[in-house]
Amino acid sequence: MNGFLLVNKPEGITSYDVIRKLKGFLPKKIKIGHSGTLDPFATGLLIIAIGRDYTRQLNTLLNLDKTYQAEITFGIETDSYDIDGAITYTHPTPISLTENDVFPIINKFKGTIEQTPPIFSAKKINGKPAYKHAREGTSIELKKASVTIYEITLNTLKEQRMNVSIHCSKGTYIRSLAHDFGQALSTGAHLSKLNRLAIGHMNLESAINLDDITMETLPTYLIKELNT
């Protein structure tokens, strides 16, 4: 019961909910962790480490680049920059974007950029996650951080919804990117769907659906070494 497990996280649960389920199949004292949180509305690849020798490698995995497929909805902003947040702005007229509208914005955000994390994030401020300050109504200032967007590929665009694939560095908030797109187009926007396709060279295609993991099948899915 030691190794890595590639899991396809379903929508509607937290990353820790995945850990909680897997803990039920393990001896009580065994260590377990994951390589990067996905929000409840998000789906896709989670790398789970089981056992002390493997959880020690999680920091290395956190430094790997990521690939996502994202749906961005224009015309509505939320306080969390995603679909689970409270609406803070609605554009007064219907949104119908064209490729000529979005391509200059996509190109603007490629490369190394300065990005402000969402207020509802796990970014630590004075030792406390930013989302806890936000829930308490405390006013805080989040500092911008440099991240790298290696590639953004437009998949589909229909009226106010854009689907893109994004290859980015560690620490990139796709929610912030969606929000910044909306600001750049003066329409407002939020992240309405997110699917993590890859972490480094590890792909979602190799992941196991959470419902398929049981006490009996878990050992057969464990990987002793990852191709990072």
Catalytic positions are 39
- CA dist 19 and 91 (Å) reads 39
Half-sphere exposure of 59 (CA within 13 A, CB side): 3
- CA dist 30 and 18 (Å) reads 16
- CA dist 38 and 159 (Å) reads 27
The amino acid sitting at 110 is K
125: left (phi over 0), alpha (psi -120 to 50) or beta: beta
211 secondary structure, DSSP code: G
125's CB contacts (< 8 A; 6+ apart) are 133, 140, 142
Displacement of CA 65 from its chain's centroid (Å)? 12
